[in-house]
Structure 1
Amino acid sequence: MSRSSRRRKHAVSQLNLMVVGFSSLGKTSFIRMLYDTLCRLKEDIEPPTSLSKRAETAQDAEATRTKELYSFTLDIEEEGEKISLTLVDCPGFVRDNELRLDVQVTEVLRYIEAQFDQTLAEETKVKRNPKAQDSQIHACLYFIDNTNNGLTDKDIRILKRITARVNVIPVVAKADLLTTTQLANLKKAINRDIKQHKIPVFDFPVDEEDGSESETAAEVLADIQTQIPFSIIAPEDAELIDPSTSEKILGRQYSWGVIDCLNPKHCDFVVLRNVLLSSHRKLFKDITLELYYEQYRTERLMARKASKMITKEQKKKLMEDLQEI
């Protein structure tokens, strides 16, 4: 094995994901399900307490609700690649307090920008750290309430703010509460609102290169685009058996049957998981660095330059005032 091959074998790719949305939409439940399906390289690492607590009553739900932003990192392996995965969970946005809602969204943006600041600070060092970690948020899942007929005015306002700083992927929460027709209609309504209000969510661009291989990739991407926003169903805390296979599943039990949360026919979790961890992982990172970070970096450098110019003008005016005395 060549030296370069050994380096690739031991290389670890970093991926940082965030979940946001209004309260009680299952954001933490999604992180818990993702955690349960990961191939962890270190099984002795315990998940945060918030993931181990499951709500069985309304009181439990309130007690286990995410109160403040937190993150944790796992070393995982996906399709033979080692990934250092950081998951960031945010408190649910409030629905009945406009001022508090704006503050919450600002806090999310400040966290994202703080990660950009770390990169900018590293870039300005005379001697950079070759082992510096990439803490930038590469993708953000925005959970949408399934009880609305599309996006609300608050959703639109929030999305317009956060899409300026991060790749945003819309997600329909608790899709098991909708019939197939209702879910299809809701997805159409959400996509209509996104287009109408020109919200730049991640649109899964298709590679237009020639060749049969790229044609196959284009077909796959086209299929993914038809599923946006992705529908998510979180499993309940119970041991369930698939009646058709007699195997244990992550799902939900109803009087009419069982939902398998990992069955693509029931929800889009498996597709979304593959998009995040495999097929689009590099693209998320490239866009974050080349678009969102560069845009933020330019804004910060221009702001610093403007600040220095203002200071010079103030000094000049002060000297002129002193001469008049």
Structure 2
Amino acid sequence: MSRSSRRRKHAVSQLNLMVVGFSSLGKTSFIRMLFDTLGRLKEDIEPPASLSKRAETAQDAEAARTKELYSFTLDIEEEGEKISLTLVDCPGFVRDNELRLDVQVTEETKVKRNPKAQDSQIHACLYFIDNTNNGLTDKDIRILKRLTARVNVIPIVAKADLLTTTQLANLKKAINRDIKQYQIPVFDFPVDEEDGSESEVVEAFADIQTQIPFSIIAPEDAELTDPSTSEKILGRQYAWGVIDCLNPKHCDFVVLRNVLLSSHRKLFKDITLELFYEQYHDHQGTEEEIDGRFTGNLN
């Protein structure tokens, strides 16, 4: 094995993900489910206490609600690649993304740059949308326009188990209609030029695009088994049956997980560096350009 090959084998890629949206849409539950499915390099690592809070009553739910922004980092392995994954849970819309960009800009302007500096930029932001609305609200549109100017944004339909198949399809159609009408540049899953000649790749990426916004269902706390296989699952039990949150027929979590950690991970990082960071760096001194930061708590 060459020296360069050994370096690649031991290289660790950074990935920083943030979840945002109004309160009670299951953002923390999503992070908990993602945590439970990660191939952690250190199995004894426990999630933050905020992720382990369980809510059995309305009072418990209020107590367990995320009150302030927090983040934590895990070393994981995905398809043979080592990733330093940072997850950021946000109760509202704060300045975190630009503050992280500020850290990177400061590092860029040093005479001697620190070779061990961590990439603190947010590479992808999951925006959770309330499923009780018929599309995007005025606040959603206003926030998404700000977010998409600074970070790769992926829209998410929260608590999709509360919708019938027809209702979910209609809501996705309404959200995509609003995204197009108001010219909101959410991440559109382009095909890599190097893979453009491979028809199966083009077809797979086109299929991903049709699933936007992704529908997410968070599992309940109780241990459940698949009635057809008797295997333990992450799911939800209802009188009419069981939902398996890792079954692509029930929700889009598996597809989203693959997009974030595997198929589009490098693209998220490249766009963040080559587009969002450069734009921010170029306009850092222009007050009008950077004054529209996400301020205020929308909980």
TM-score of the two chains, using structure 1 as the length reference? 0.81
Shift of 1:209: 5.4
Q: Is structure 2 residue 193 aligned with structure 1 residue 193?
A: no
Shift of 1:129: 1.3
Shift of 1:54: 1.2
Q: Secondary structure at the match of 2:120?
A: coil
Shift of 1:207: 3.2
Task: Sort the Cα spacing of 1:126 and 1:150 in 2 relative to 1 into closer, same or farther, 3 A.
Answer: same
**Greater length-normalized contact order (CA 8 Å, ≥ 6 residues apart):** 2
* Bigger Cα Rg: 1
Q: Deviations over 1:121-146 (max 9, x none)?
A: x1111211111110100000000000
Output the CA distance in 2 between the equivalents of 1:214 and 1:136.
33
Task: Sort the Cα spacing of 1:138 and 1:318 in 2 relative to 1 into closer, same or farther, 3 A.
Answer: closer
Output the CA distance in 1 between the equivalents of 2:271 and 2:82.
21
Output the CA distance in 2 between the equivalents of 1:138 and 1:228.
18
Q: Which runs of 4+ in 1 moved over 3 A?
A: 92-106, 207-212, 311-324
Output the CA distance in 1 between the equivalents of 2:202 and 2:298.
71
Output the CA distance in 2 between the equivalents of 1:153 and 1:258.
35
Q: Is the 8 A contact 1:93 1:104 kept in 2?
A: no
2:258 to 268, 274, 292: 274
Output the CA distance in 1 between the equivalents of 2:293 and 2:171.
62
Shift of 1:18: 0.2
Output the CA distance in 1 between the equivalents of 2:183 and 2:293.
47
RMSD: 9.1
Q: Is the 8 A contact 2:226 2:232 kept in 1?
A: yes
Alignment of 1:158-197 (within 5 A): 158-197=143-182
Where in structure 1 are there 5+ consecutive unaligned residues? 107-121, 297-310
Output the CA distance in 1 between the equivalents of 2:171 and 2:289.
56
Task: Sort the Cα spacing of 1:23 and 1:104 in 2 relative to 1 into closer, same or farther, 3 A.
Answer: farther
Output the CA distance in 2 between the equivalents of 1:322 and 1:178.
28
Output the CA distance in 1 between the equivalents of 2:51 and 2:25.
15
Q: Is structure 2 residue 296 aligned with structure 1 residue 321?
A: yes
Output the CA distance in 1 between the equivalents of 2:3 and 2:65.
48
Output the CA distance in 1 between the equivalents of 2:267 and 2:294.
53
Q: Is the 8 A contact 1:94 1:100 kept in 2?
A: no
Where in structure 2 are there 5+ consecutive unaligned residues? 281-285
Output the CA distance in 2 between the equivalents of 1:316 and 1:253.
46
Q: Is structure 2 residue 287 aligned with structure 1 residue 312?
A: yes
Aligned length: 294
Q: Secondary structure at the match of 1:56?
A: coil
Q: Deviations over 1:210-253 (max 9, x none)?
A: 765255x1111100000000000000000001000000000000
Task: Sort the Cα spacing of 1:146 and 1:103 in 2 relative to 1 into closer, same or farther, 3 A.
Answer: farther
Task: Sort the Cα spacing of 1:7 and 1:314 in 2 relative to 1 into closer, same or farther, 3 A.
Answer: closer
Alignment of 1:63-102 (within 5 A): 63-92=63-92
Alignment of 1:19-98 (within 5 A): 19-92=19-92
Shift of 1:185: 0.4
Q: Deviations over 1:278-315 (max 9, x none)?
A: 0000000000000000000xxxxxxxxxxxxxx99999
Q: Deviations over 1:53-85 (max 9, x none)?
A: 111110000001000000000000000000000
